[in-house]
Structure 1
Amino acid sequence: VPDSESYAYRLVIPNKEVREVFILQIQEWFKAVVANENETMKLLSSAILDKDEKQIARQLNIVMSRMISILDTKAPDDMKENFYHGLLLGLLRGSNPDWLIKSNRESGDGFSDILIMPEDPDAGIVIEVKYAKEMKELDAACEAAITQIKDKRYDETLRDEGRCDILAYGIAFCRKRCRVVGEKF
C-alpha cells in the first residue's frame, strides 16, 4: 500500500502465539525505558513508599515528558484512563521486581486499578487512576479517586493478606502532566 495519509492501517494480532510475542516485546521495551530512567524510577519507588505525593508527581511528570507524545493519548476520553493505567503499571512492574503488583484486582466492592504488596509484609498500596480533560480538573479527579478507594473498600484484599500499613493514592493525568493525592488508611 502506498505511504499516504488517505490509507488507514490497523494492527491485528492473528493468534495467541503472535500476541504473546507482541506482549513480550512491549515488556522488553518497558524494561529498557526503565533502565534508562533508573534514578528517576528509584526516586518514584521511594516516594510511593514514603507517601511523598509531590515527589511521585514530579517523577511521573519527568518520565512522561521524556517518554510519551501527546499523540499517545489520542483516544476517546473514556479510554484515556486505560493508557495512563497501563503506563503506570508498566513503570512500576519494570522498576520493582520485588513488589507483587496486581492490576484490576477484585477488592472490596469493586476492582481496584493497582494493588501493590511491597517487600514489607505489613505494607500495602492502592492506586486509583483518573483522567482529567483539563489541568484545572486534576485536583478534583484525585479526590474522586481517593473517595472511590474508600467507598469501594479497595484496601480489603490487602487487609485480608495481613497488611495493615496501607497507603492509598489517587493519581490524575491530563496530557503529559499528573497530580497525586495520598492518604494513609
Structure 2
Amino acid sequence: MKAIINDDFDSYWTQTSAAESLMGYISLDFDGLGRTVTELIGGVETEVDTKGFANDLTTFRDRDNVLTLLIHLGYLTYKEETRSAHIPNQEIREEFARAIRQVKRDDTIRRVRESEQLIADTVQGNEEAVARQIEKIHEEESPLYYNNEQALRNVIKRAYFSYGDEYVMLEELPAGSGYADVVYLPKKNSPLPVLVIELKWKKSADSALDQIRDRRYPEAVKDYGSDILLVGISYDRDAPAGERKHRCRIEKYDM
C-alpha cells in the first residue's frame, strides 16, 4: 500500500532469471523469429502451430517450437479459436523490448534501429520519412491480403514496435465522438508528445486529419500534460506505378 501511496514501484522482472531466459529463447537462430518478436512487441497477434512442440526446454526445430515454449512458460497468451499468441501485459512487453535489444542478429538490430528512427521522424514531423518507412515495412513484412484498415493497423504496430521505451499504446480509444485508431501516450515525465494516429484505406492522409479534428479525438488526451501530434496515414493500392502507396500528414494540435 505504501508503494501505491508514494507512487514508488516498478517491475522486479529484470532482477530474476526470467529476463535472462527470455533473451536466450528469442536469440535462437530460426528464420522469422526475430520479425515475429518485433510484431508481438508492437501488439500484433501471431499465428502459432503448437502441434510439433517436443514438450521440453532444449529441443527446438523452428520458430513455432520456440513460441509454443514461451506460451507454456507464460510469456505469451494463446487463443485457441484463432490459434494465435500475443504478449499478455505491459510488464512482459517491456521485458521483450529490453531483451530484443541484446540480440546480436543483424536483421533484429536493423528493425530496432528503424523503429526508433520512425518514432523520432514522427515526433519531428518528417512526413516523407514516416511514409517511406511504413511503405518499407509493408513491402517486407505485410500479409498477402493487405486490403483493409486492420491490416494497415498491423503494419503500423510492427513499424512502431519499439515504442515501449517512451510510450504506452492504446487502440480504439474512446475519444470525442468516436474512437481513435491508435494513440501513443508518453510515459510519466517524458518530454515527448502524444501521438494520435488515424488510418485511412483508399482515402487521403488529409482526410485522416480531418476526422481526428471533426470527431474531436484530442479531447480525450488534452489534459494529459503533453503536446499532441495528429498523424494521418493512408494507403492507396491504386497509386500509379512508381509512386509510393502510403502517405503521411502530421500536424501539431492547437489546444
Asked whether the two chains share a fold, i.e. TM above 0.5, the reply is yes
Structure 1 stretch displaced more, 16-25 or 99-108 = 16-25
Give the match for residue 229 of structure 2.
167
Give the match for residue 41 of structure 1.
115
Instruction: Supply the RMSD in Å over aligned alpha carbons.
Output: 2.9
Q: CA deviation at 1:36?
A: 4.8
Once the two structures are superposed, what CA deviation does each residue of 1:33-84 show, in whole Å capped at 9, x if it has no partner?
8655222212211111111111101111122222125x321x4xxxx01110
For the Cα contact (< 8 Å) 1:64–1:177, is it kept in 2?
A: no
Q: What is the letter of the counterpart of residue 117 of structure 1?
A: L
Give the match for residue 200 of structure 2.
130
The structure 1 segments of at least 4 consecutive aligned residues displaced by more than 6 Å after TM superposition are 31-34
Q: CA deviation at 1:91?
A: 3.1
Change in 2 beyond 3 A, CA 1:147/1:127: same
Q: Larger strand proportion, structure 1 or 2?
A: 1
Q: Please say which structure displays the higher CA radius of gyration.
A: 2
Q: 1:156 aligns with which of 216, 219, 230?
A: 219
Please give the alpha-carbon distance, in whole angstroms, between the structure 1 residues aligned to 2:178 and 2:108.
Answer: 30
Change in 2 beyond 3 A, CA 1:125/1:17: closer
Superposed, which structure 2 residues align to 1:1-185 within 5 Å? 17-18=79-80, 22-24=84-86, 36-68=110-142, 71-73=144-146, 75=147, 80-92=148-160, 94-98=161-165, 99-119=167-187, 120=190, 123-132=193-202, 141-163=204-226, 165-175=227-237, 177-185=245-253
Q: What is the letter of the counterpart of residue 80 of structure 2?
A: V
Q: Which runs of 5 or more residues in structure 1 are unaligned?
A: 1-10
Q: Larger helix proportion, structure 1 or 2?
A: 1
Change in 2 beyond 3 A, CA 1:43/1:17: closer
Q: What is the letter of the counterpart of residue 198 of structure 2?
A: E
Q: Which runs of 5 or more residues in structure 2 are unaligned?
A: 1-46, 48-77, 88-92, 238-243
For the Cα contact (< 8 Å) 1:34–1:95, is it kept in 2?
A: no
For the Cα contact (< 8 Å) 1:34–1:91, is it kept in 2?
A: no
Please give the alpha-carbon distance, in whole angstroms, between the structure 2 residues aligned to 1:168 and 1:51.
Answer: 10
Structure of higher RCO (CA pairs closer than 8 Å, 6+ residues apart): 1
Q: CA deviation at 1:96?
A: 1.4
Q: CA deviation at 1:125?
A: 1.1
Change in 2 beyond 3 A, CA 1:160/1:172: same
Aligned residues: 153
For the Cα contact (< 8 Å) 1:169–1:183, is it kept in 2?
A: yes
